[in-house]
């Protein structure tokens, strides 16, 4: 069976990468295969996860290429050389330019730890999202998988899943629950959905 070639872009621990790898193993992802993991941080633990699963991995940093433009050029070259069909941003701490997102239009997806349009956009990532949700006193939060365009968290929504906020929640507790109950569920589902569409349109 033909599969879409998937690249996962990471910066840190790689828990969302792990959710995708597990999604392949347990049959949620049938139409895509992770062929490449790219990190902009040479110390990212996600690279160890890739190694443990025999996935090709590479490190590209802005420092190597003296800024964003050279970095993106190299990233585009590596993705094209590896014939990547779908790019998944999994805790990738770099805002991508319009030039980059236009090059892979509707081929880049991201998972965000809130129900967009709440608590999203520039500066909203990691624990800050959950801190702001608790500050606001929301009763329900969750996660969103969306297409990536040049506006941070601005692309079309693919999947969302709600998670209840509980009494006594700290940002850390809420972050864990949103990951387990939402992010790690809808991200593999979205990878399957878009991979399937890519294969059928080839």
pLDDT at residue 153, rounded to an integer = 92
Task: Provide the whole-model pTM.
Answer: 0.95
Q: Is the peptide bond before 117 cis (omega within 30 degrees of 0)?
A: yes
For residue 23, give the H/E element and its range: helix 15-25
112 is catalytic: yes
pLDDT at residue 157, rounded to an integer = 98
Domain ranges of the chain: 4-201
Q: Is the dihedral of CA 18, 19, 20, 21 positive or negative?
A: positive
Of 35, 49, 57, 112, catalytic: 112
Half-sphere exposure of 22 (CA within 13 A, CB side): 10
Helix, strand, coil fractions of the chain, as percent rounded to 5: 40, 20, 40
164 and 172 in contact (C-beta within 8 Å)? no
10-41: b or e for each residue (b if 16 or more CB lie within 10 Å)?
bbbebbbbbbbbebbeeebbebbebbbbbbbb
Kindly give the confidence (pLDDT) of every residue in the chain, 202 residues in length, as a single tens digit, with 9 standing for 90 and above: 899 999 999 999 999 999 999 999 999 999 999 999 999 999 999 999 999 999 999 999 998 988 889 999 999 999 999 999 999 999 898 889 999 999 999 999 999 999 999 999 988 989 999 999 999 999 999 999 999 999 989 999 999 999 999 999 999 999 999 999 999 999 999 999 999 999 998 7
Pairing of strands 157-164, 140-147: antiparallel
Half-sphere exposure of 151 (CA within 13 A, CB side): 9
CATH number listed for the domain at residues 4-201: 3.40.50.170
Within a 10 A sphere around the Cβ of 140, how many other Cβ atoms? 11
* Angle between helix 127-136 and helix 171-178 axes, rounded to 10 deg: 110
β partners of residue 145: 111, 159
pLDDT at residue 67, rounded to an integer = 82
Tell me how far apart the alpha carbons of residues 65 and 112 are, in angstroms, rounded to a whole number.
Answer: 28
């Amino acid at each position: 069976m033909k599969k879409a070639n998937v690249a996962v872009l990471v910066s840190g621990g790689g828990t969302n990468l792990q959710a995708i790898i597990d999604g392949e193993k347990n049959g949620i992802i049938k139409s895509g295969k992770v062929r490449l993991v790219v990190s902009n941080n040479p110390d990212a633990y996600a690279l160890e996860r890739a190694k443990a699963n025999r996935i090709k991995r590479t490190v590209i940093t802005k420092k190597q290429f003296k800024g964003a433009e050279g970095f993106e050029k190299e990233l585009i070259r590596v993705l094209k050389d590896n014939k990547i069909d779908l790019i998944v941003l999994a805790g990738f701490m770099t805002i991508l330019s319009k030039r980059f997102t236009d090059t892979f239009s509707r081929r880049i997806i991201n998972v965000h730890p809130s129900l967009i349009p709440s608590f999203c956009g520039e500066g909203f990532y990691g624990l800050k999202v959950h801190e702001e949700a608790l500050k606001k006193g929301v009763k329900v939060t969750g996660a969103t998988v969306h297409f990536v365009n040049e506006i941070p968290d601005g692309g079309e929504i693919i999947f969302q899943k709600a998670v209840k906020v509980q009494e006594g929640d700290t940002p850390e507790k809420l972050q864990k629950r949103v990951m387990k109950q939402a992010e790690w569920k809808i991200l593999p589902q979205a990878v399957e959905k878009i991979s399937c569409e890519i294969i059928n349109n080839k």
